[in-house]
Structure 1
Amino acid sequence: MCGRFAFYSDFPSLAASLKLPLAEGELTPRYNVAPGTWISAVRRHDDSGQLSLDALWWGYRPHWADDRAPQPINATVEKVAISPYFRGAFARHRCLVPANGWYEWLAVEGRKQPHYLTRRDGEPLWFAGIWIERPDGKPGCAILTEPARGVAKAIHPRMPLILDQQSLEPWLDPELMERETIRHLVHHLPHDQLTHWPVSTRVNRPVEDDPALIEAES
């Protein structure tokens, strides 16, 4: 799953990584991004077709759902295109959530040890996401997850769907709506580009937010 991540790239490096036209925005470094907060995401607007970096609420609830409806932070790749709750957003409102790494917890001798997972080369990660207008009229999103691969599999059975460079543009293409077409054009980042290390349990507390959170714990 993906329930906590870090995102601290500045806008120029983020735009360079995306390699697509992106309306300029401002970013605040965050080392402990938790659900139920505003997060940065790249999406294409329905009216102008322009790509922009916007603030989306990390919690997905469609505008037609009532107050008792769930607010998932993740959507599985196995069901996102067919679930009535998600399929409309999958077809029309896909987005990219930039991150530098994410956290998972590994059970070790009766306790849970947090690990930080990131790219070996330090480049930003692009999580596949979907967004929807919430009942309050503001945009909310969910991050897609898939079965864990490579080194991530040793920490947790699932991981965010991280897209490779060639998949970013088609993922954001509003003309692509069919599940099978998207499946053939969109691919995840090769798992051998990922690494991880144990970090401080301070990350367990969402109020903790500083660069030391991603440092390896000896």
Structure 2
Amino acid sequence: MCGRFALYSDFPSLARSLKLPLAEGELTPRYNIAPGTWISAVRRHEDGCQLGLDTLWWGYRPHWADDKAPQPINATVEKVATSPYFRGAFAHHRCLVPADGWYEWLAVDGRKQPHYLTRGDGEPLWFAGIWTDRPDGKPGCAILTEPARGIAKAIHPRMPLTLDQQSLEPWLDPELTDRETIRHLVHHLQHERLTHWPVSNRVNKPVEDDPALIEEER
């Protein structure tokens, strides 16, 4: 799954990584981003042309759902295109959630050890996401997850769908709505590019938010 992540790259670094025209934006470094908070995401503006770095609520609830409807933070790749709750957003409201890495917890000797997963080359990651207008009129989103691959599999059975460079533009293309076409054009980042290490249990508390959280615990 993806329930906690970090984003500390500055805007120029993200724009350079995206390699697509991106309207100006600002970012505050965050090392312990938790669900139920505002997060940064790249999506197309209403004109369908310009990309913007917007702020979305990390919790997905469509505008037509009632107050008792769930607010998932993740949507699985297996069901996102067919589930009545998600399929409209998958076809028309896809976004990219930038991250420098994410956290997963590994059971070790009866306790859960947090690990930080990131790219070995230090480049930002791009999580596939979907968004919707919530009942309160504000945008909310969910991050897609897939079965874990490579080194991530040793930590947790699922991981965020992290896209490779060639997939970023088609994922954001509003003209692409067909599930099979999207599946053909969009691919995940090669798992060989990922690395991980154990980090402090301080990350368990969302109020903790500083660069030391991503340092390797020895």
TM bucket (normalised to shorter chain) is over 0.9
Aligned residue number for residue 135 of structure 2: 135
- Give the Å deviation of 1:45: 1.7
Query: 2:102 & 2:45 partners in 1: Cα distance?
Result: 27
Instruction: Establish whether residue 35 from structure 1 lines up as the match of residue 42 from structure 2.
Output: no
Report the Cα offset of residue 48 of structure 1. Answer: 4.8
Which whole-Å deviations, capped at 9, do the CAs of 1:63-90 have from their partners, x for residues lacking one? 0000000000000000000000000000
Q: Hey, what's the Cα distance between the residues in 2 that align with 1:47 and 1:10?
A: 26
Alpha-carbon distance in structure 1 between the residues aligned to 2:209 and 2:27: 15
What is the CA–CA distance in structure 2 between the aligned matches of 1:170 and 1:160, rounded to whole Å? Answer: 18
Identity %: 88
RMSD, matched Cα: 0.5
How far apart in 1 are the matches of 2:41 and 2:177?
Answer: 20
Q: 2:93 aligned with 1:97, yes or no? A: no
Query: 1:135 is matched by which residue type in structure 2?
Result: P
TM-score, normalising length: structure 2? 0.99
Q: CA deviation at 1:50?
A: 1.3
State the match for 1:114 in structure 2: 114
Distance change (3 Å), C-alpha of 1:7 and 1:186: same
In structure 2, C-alpha distance between the alignment counterparts of 1:27 and 1:34, rounded to whole Å: 16
- Structure 1 residues 44-123: aligned runs within 5 Å: 44-123=44-123
Runs of 4+ in 1 over 4 A off after TM superposition: none
Q: How many residues align?
A: 218
1:149 corresponding residue in structure 2: 149
Q: Take 2:16 and 2:103, find their aligned partners in 1: how far apart are those partners?
A: 25
Q: Secondary structure at the match of 2:208?
A: coil
Query: What displacement does 1:46 show?
Result: 2.5
